[in-house]
């Protein structure tokens, strides 16, 4: 098969490209390297079944050709990280919405299969403990730029499901819950690599807010395993959660990272207003229900949080 990955030089995309090449597929990546890196593609750069194209998903003239010649598109290109979203809300909306619009328009010409990676952020400010794909969504006010990301990805989801209903485009959506692992950078606010790097350097671990907010962290290899499963499905127009069900507060995550790395780093608490922006809002809990994807793909995550932390720490030690 010939697979196109938009945003493929990023953290998740690079692992997905490696996995696809390992199973014998041809892979083309489009990336403008704004948050991705050629270093992520170091192990596959010389593979004769791999092609890298530098370009912005919003502008690249060859997008229609690249989509229509592919058997499937993994659309990963998007704005990345809370810090970037808060500081650049216009770019966030443009990248997420217009980029997806271009991909879907091209795919609809030849009915090329598309898998859109969305986000658990779309669940918004709901106070539920766990989230199902059929749950109502509670997005915050437009006065807080943080919700521009969730809103733009939600519009992407509506685009996908609308194309399926109206034109029969074979498209599915996955909502990713905190995918983490080696090669992920903390540069854009990702908490786990930021904690591990600080712990290894014996620097303070900065916990934003009270630290009582809880998250589930899914190893990138588990996420990629699920993404690969969509190559074989014949069911379209659906939304699926992908994530771990091992929940941990951010405060406990910091303590766990310090313990597993043998660090003596202190933990310091930083109010949201200082970490991001005045009036910043966050979800207290975010854990997925994964029965739907489990039934479709017979998938569930295999890596524990302890294993993830050790893998990330080993990666940074080698750096």
Name which residue leads in pLDDT, 5 or 79.
Answer: 5
User: 268: buried, middle or exposed (CB in 10 Å: 19+, 13-18, 0-12)?
Assistant: exposed
The predicted model gives 90-115 an average pLDDT of 95
Side-chain half-sphere CA neighbours of 7 within 13 A: 20
Determine, yes or no, domain membership for 198. no
The predicted model gives 183-192 an average pLDDT of 84
Q: What is the pLDDT of residue 91?
A: 84
Determine, yes or no, domain membership for 187. no
Domain span including residue 18: 2-180+219-244+288-301
Confidence of residue 81 (pLDDT cuts 50, 70, 90): low
Instruction: Say what the pTM is.
Output: 0.94
Q: What are phi and psi of 145, to 5 degrees?
A: -65, -20
Q: What is the pLDDT of residue 272?
A: 84
Q: What is the pLDDT of residue 50?
A: 98
Among 4, 20, 13, 11, which Cα is nearest to 66's? 4
Dihedral of the CA atoms 179, 184, 189, 193 (nearest 10)? 90
DSSP for residue 278? T
Determine, yes or no, domain membership for 275. no
Determine, yes or no, domain membership for 29. yes
Determine, yes or no, domain membership for 297. yes
Determine, yes or no, domain membership for 131. yes
Determine, yes or no, domain membership for 164. yes
User: 220: buried, middle or exposed (CB in 10 Å: 19+, 13-18, 0-12)?
Assistant: buried
Q: What is the pLDDT of residue 274?
A: 83
Lowest mean pLDDT among 17-21, 114-118, 203-207, 230-234: 230-234
Domain count, the chain: 1
The predicted model gives 266-294 an average pLDDT of 87
Q: What is the mean pLDDT of the chain?
A: 94
Query: In the chain, what's the furthest Cα-to-Cα distance?
Result: 58
Confidence of residue 82 (pLDDT cuts 50, 70, 90): low
**Span 14-38, pLDDT tens digits:** 999 999 999 999 999 999 998 899 9
**Span 60-72, pLDDT tens digits:** 999 999 999 999 9
**Span 226-250, pLDDT tens digits:** 999 999 998 999 999 999 999 999 9
Among 179, 299, 293, 287, which Cα is nearest to 238's? 293
Q: Nearest 5°: CA angle at 311, between 307 and 314? A: 135
Q: Which candidate in 15, 74, 123, 149 is catalytic? A: 149
Q: What is the pLDDT of residue 245?
A: 94
Determine, yes or no, domain membership for 95. yes
Residue owning tokens 């809370």: 82
Q: Where residue 33 sits, what CATH number does that domain have?
A: 3.40.50.720
Q: What is the pLDDT of residue 92?
A: 86
Q: Does the pLDDT value for residue 297 go beyond 70?
A: yes
User: Which residues is 50 bridged to in the sheet?
Assistant: 27
Q: Is 149 a catalytic residue?
A: yes
Q: What is the pLDDT of residue 253?
A: 98
Q: Does the pLDDT value for residue 85 go beyond 80?
A: no
């Amino acid at each position: 098969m010939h697979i196109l990955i938009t945003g493929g030089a990023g953290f998740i995309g690079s692992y997905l490209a490696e996995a696809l090449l390992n199973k014998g597929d041809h892979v083309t990546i489009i990336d403008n390297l704004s948050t991705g890196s050629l270093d992520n593609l170091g192990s596959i750069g010389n593979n004769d079944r791999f092609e890298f194209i530098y370009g912005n998903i919003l502008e690249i003239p060859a997008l229609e050709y690249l989509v229509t010649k592919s058997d499937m598109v993994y659309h990963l290109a998007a704005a990345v990280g809370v810090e970037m979203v808060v500081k650049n809300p216009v770019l966030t909306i443009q990248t997420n919405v217009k980029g997806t619009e271009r991909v879907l328009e091209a795919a609809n010409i030849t009915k090329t299969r598309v898998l859109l990676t969305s986000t658990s952020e779309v669940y918004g400010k709901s106070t539920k403990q766990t989230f199902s794909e059929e749950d109502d969504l509670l997005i915050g006010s437009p006065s807080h730029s943080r919700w521009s990301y969730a809103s733009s990805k939600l519009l992407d989801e509506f685009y996908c499901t609308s194309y399926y209903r109206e034109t029969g485009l074979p498209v599915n959506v996955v909502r990713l819950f905190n995918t983490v692992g080696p090669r992920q950078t903390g540069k854009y606010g990702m908490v786990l690599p930021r904690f591990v790097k600080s712990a290894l350097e014996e620097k303070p671990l900065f916990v934003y807010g009270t630290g009582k907010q809880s998250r589930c962290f899914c190893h990138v290899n588990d996420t990629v395993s699920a993404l690969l499963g969509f190559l074989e499905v014949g069911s379209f127009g659906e939304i699926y959660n992908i994530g771990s069900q091992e929940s941990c507060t951010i405060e406990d995550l910091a303590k766990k990272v310090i313990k597993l790395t043998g660090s003596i780093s202190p933990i310091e608490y930083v109010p949201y207003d200082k970490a991001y922006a005045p009036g910043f809002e966050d979800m207290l809990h975010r854990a997925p229900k994964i029965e739907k994807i489990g039934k479709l793909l017979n998938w569930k995550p295999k890596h524990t949080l302890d294993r993830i932390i050790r893998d990330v720490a080993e990666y940074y030690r080698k750096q």
